[in-house]
Structure formats: structure tokens, C-alpha cells
Amino acid sequence: MVFEFVTHHGDHQHKNEQHELSDEEKKQQAEILRESLGSLGNDLSYTQLAQFLEANSWNQEHAKHQLESTLIWRQEKKVDFCPVATTKNGLPLLVSVRGFKYIEDGNIQSNKKLSESAIRILNYLGGDCFHKFDKEGHPILIDRTGYHQAKEIGNDVTGEEIKHFQVACNEFLNRVIMVEASEKAGKPIHKETIIFDCTHMGLWQFHMNGLFKLKQVADYVQSYYPETLCRLFVVNAPSAFLVMWKIVRPWLDPKTLDKVQILGKDYKDVLLKYIDSESLPTFLGGSCSCSHLQGGCVPSVNEGRIPFLVKTEDNEKIASVYNSDIMLEAKTNPDYIKVVSS
Ligand SMILES: [Zn+2]
């Protein structure tokens, strides 16, 4: 799904940083940016400011421009009130999770609080799971890329629906998963490690409408959620992957491309360099099997590991991921929009 639209890399390593700033210099730059934003900057964390600066190679003017557009977009779309699932509010998941405390281990499943569009999208995805942390404390997202139903995503999901879904997933990442990762690491963590498993991938997935949906999402994420990727590993990549890669690659920011490693079958040692064996599923060379839950480490409807989600009349036909009563409740109930310590 989801955050997977940030792809590539390979053999060459082009460095675009002139010189690495010290932590102190980064803090100073963040404060300069905060001041230049006036009252808009009051509520922003150092991490948020640093993300936009980093995305713009620490250019103040460019960072300010991108951050202002993002804040205006968030206000217009009321993104701060987008509900996110936590253990406390019990909202249904949009991504399966394993190994966190602010959100209980669980799978995507049928639920009357989801919208009809969320169910439709979830049934077309290959299977995603936030699965534990890497050695540096970044949360890991594993995606069964080879099982995405690209044609159905292209033809049977609107741009509006996929954007709502993507935003809800990114907000969940920032407001639940990253909060826990930062607490656990004792320092701000705002990047994730992603693994795309291409097992089962074939030319049947290369559908132009599907790829264009991918582009819409990639543009959206790169504009409003910059610098959230630490590393992306594409594993079990077949030669067919390179066909798609040629199309997708120009859509992506060069800084993103530097973080991507495309690997064939020999990926295990590379993954184990960054991820402890107990945090890596057995099917990727680690020792984790998550046998306590149906679907194992990365549940997938399209691989037949968990049941397809079933729609009922309770699932409203709206573009948001949750039904309208949940969206309304989130405007007044803090439990619906963030992790609230008990
Ligand atoms: Zn596992």
C-alpha cells in the first residue's frame, strides 16, 4: 500500500549534501525557520521543522514555502482531526500491526466503523504491517508488494479515495507509531524503514491506471509528508520490476532514490545488518513468526492468509476511511486523534 510509493536506488551513490550540519547547527536552523513562520510556527516541534529543512537541503526559503503550503493544506482539509487507531479508542486498523504498545497487535478486518471505500481499498492491497523496529529504533513497514491488485486499484478506486486513505495512514504513522518509536529510542524518530517484498510480482501488475494512482499518492506524500523514509529495501525483485521502475523512478525525489536498495534473492545479510533477527519475519530471513495471530507477521488477504473484508450497509459510501459518525466524534474527542497517556 501506502508508503510504498517512494522507491529506488541501486548501484550509484550520489551525495547531495554539501557538508553534514552538527546537531547544534540543525537546532539553530530550525529556530530560524520557526521565527520566520510567525504565529504559524508556535505549535511545531523541532522534528517537524527539521523534516522540512532536511527535505529542502536546509534551504530556509524553500523549507518555509513547503511548510506553509502544508500547514494551509492541513487547515483546509482538517487533517489534525483525522482519526487514528489507538489501543485506547479501539478504532479498526488500516494497516496490520505487530510489536507496539500504543496500538495493540492486530489485523485489518471487517468492521462496521470503516467506510465502504476503506474496505474496498484494503481488499485490493497486497498486505502491509508495521512490524517492530530496526536496530536504530525506526519502525519497520513490510509490504507484500507482489500481491497488490494494481488493475483494481487503478480502475475501482478514485483519486480522492486513495488520498484519504494515504493521509489516514500517514497520520497514524506520525501520531501513534512515531510517538512510540521516539519514546522507546529516547530521541525524536520521524523516519521508517520499509521493506517491499516482490514475491509473486509479475507483469500482470503493471497497469497504467494503477501506476498513475501511485503517482498521485507519491506527489501527495512528497509534498506534505517529507523526509519520513529512512531506508527502503526492495527484495525478491524480479526482472519485471525493472520495467515498472523505469516508469516510476522519474516521479521520485533524488534524495528518496538514494535511500532505496533494490535486491534480488540475496537480501538476507543486508536486512540483518539493519534489523535484528527477532524483529525480522522468517520469510525474510529472520526468526519472527508472529504465530499468536492469524496471518503471521504480515497478514495478506490477496495471499489468502486472512479473510477478505466484508462490506455491509453499515459501511458508508464516503471518501474518508471511517464512517461519518467517527469523523465527527474525532473533532471533539482527543482519544480519537492521538495517543493519550492514561
Ligand atoms: Zn513477526
Each residue of 224-243: pLDDT tens digit? 999 999 999 999 999 888 88
Please give the distance, rounded to the nearest whole angstrom, from the Cα atom of residue 291 to the centre of ligand 1.
8
The rounded Å distance from CA 107 to ligand 1 centre is: 12
C-alpha 136 to ligand 1 mean position (Å): 18
Q: How far is the CA of 210 from the centre of ligand 1 (A)?
A: 29
Cell of 288: 519472527
- Helix locations, 225-341, DSSP H: 239-248, 254-257, 268-274, 324-329
| CB 165 within 8 Å of CB 94 | yes
- What per-residue confidence (pLDDT) applies to 239? 85
State residue 342's pLDDT score: 55
Expressed in angstroms and rounded, the spacing between residue 143 Cα and the centre of ligand 1 is: 13
Distance 335 CA to ligand 1 centre (A): 28
pLDDT at 2: 34
Q: CA nearest 82: which of 327, 249, 278?
A: 327
What are the pLDDT digits (tens) for 56-100? Answer: 999 999 999 999 999 999 999 999 999 999 999 999 999 999 999
> Which pLDDT value is given to residue 253?
85
CA of 110 to the centre of ligand 1 (A): 22
pLDDT of 16 higher than 80: no
What are residue 165's phi and psi, to 5 degrees? -65, -45
Distance of CA 139 from the midpoint of ligand 1 (Å): 13
pLDDT at 244 over 90: no
Please check the confidence at residue 305 and state whether its pLDDT lies above 50: yes
Residue 8 binned pLDDT confidence (cut-offs 50, 70, 90): very low
Three-state secondary structure call for residue 81: helix
Burial class (CB in 10 A: 0-12, 13-18, 19+), 335: middle
Segment 323-333 mean pLDDT: 97
Looking at every residue in the chain, the average pLDDT score rounds to 91
Coil/strand/helix, residue 94: coil
Distance 175 CA to ligand 1 centre (A): 22
Contact between 9 and 260 under an 8 Å Cβ cutoff? The reply is: yes
Q: Ligand 1 centre and the CA of 54: distance in Å?
A: 32
- Measured in Å, residue 105 CA sits from the centre of ligand 1 at 10
State which residues have CB under 5 angstroms from ligand 1, the bound ion: 288, 290, 297
Across 278-282, average pLDDT:
98
Q: What is the pLDDT of residue 18?
A: 56
Distance from the alpha carbon of residue 100 to the mean position of ligand 1, in angstroms: 12
Q: Is the pLDDT of residue 15 over 70?
A: no
Distance 47 CA to ligand 1 centre (A): 29
**pLDDT score of 126:** 96
CA of 271 to the centre of ligand 1 (A): 15
Query: pLDDT at residue 14 above 60?
Result: no
Helix axes 116-124, 159-172, angle to 10 degrees: 80
Distance 195 CA to ligand 1 centre (A): 13
In which region does residue 90 sit, left (phi positive, over 0), alpha (psi from -120 to 50) or beta (all else)?
Answer: left
CA atoms of 92 and 172, how far apart (whole Å): 12
**C-alpha grid cell, residue 335:** 482519544
Ligand 1 mean position, distance from CA 289 (Å): 5
C-alpha to C-alpha distances, 75 to 51, 72, 82, 126, 245, nearest whole angstrom: 19, 5, 11, 32, 35
Q: How far is the CA of 283 from the centre of ligand 1 (A)?
A: 10
CB 130 within 8 A of CB 139: yes
Distance 129 CA to ligand 1 centre (A): 9
What spacing in Å lies between the alpha carbon of 298 and ligand 1's midpoint? 7
Which of 88-92, 157-161, 243-247, 338-342 is predicted least confidently?
Answer: 338-342
Q: With 60 as the cut, is the pLDDT of residue 150 above it?
A: yes
Q: For residue 218, how far is its CA from the centre of ligand 1 (angstroms)?
A: 28
| Residue 26 CA neighbour count, 13 Å, CB half | 17
For residue 20, pLDDT beyond 50:
yes
**Helices of type H across the chain:** 23-36, 46-55, 60-76, 116-124, 150-156, 159-172, 178-185, 208-224, 239-248, 254-257, 268-274, 324-329
| pLDDT of 9 strictly over 50 | no
Residues 290 and 112: beta-carbon distance below 8 Å = no
